[in-house]
Structure 1
């Protein structure tokens, strides 16, 4: 499975979280619950700032 893990920063609470770039489910912030990314069938649609790519495969 090819894909990237990315570190994102929530715009509401500034929490940083790592998620899979091809997320199959909606990803919510673990702290405040706002939506960080939604699935599109390929690369996830990331709604917040991407801080870094953690691992590229």
Structure 2
């Protein structure tokens, strides 16, 4: 399974969370519940700011 993991900053509370680039389900912020990633059938649509690539494959 090829895909990357990203550190994403929440636009509402600035919490940083690791998100898989091809997420198959909606990913919410663990602190405030804001949606960080929405699945699209391929690469997920990232809603927050991508801070860094944690692991690229």
Inter-partner Cα distance in structure 1 for 2:37 and 2:56: 18
**Residue aligning to 1:37:** 37
Instruction: Give unmatched runs, 5+ long, in structure 1.
Output: none
Q: List structure 1 runs of 4+ shifted beyond 4 angstroms.
A: none
Q: What TM-score results when the alignment is normalised by the length of structure 1? A: 0.98
Q: What TM-score results when the alignment is normalised by the length of structure 2? A: 0.98
Instruction: Give unmatched runs, 5+ long, in structure 2.
Output: none
Cα RMSD of the aligned pairs, angstroms, is 0.4
Inter-partner Cα distance in structure 1 for 2:46 and 2:19: 10
Aligned length: 57
User: 1:39 Cα deviation (Å)?
Assistant: 0.0
Inter-partner Cα distance in structure 2 for 1:56 and 1:49: 17
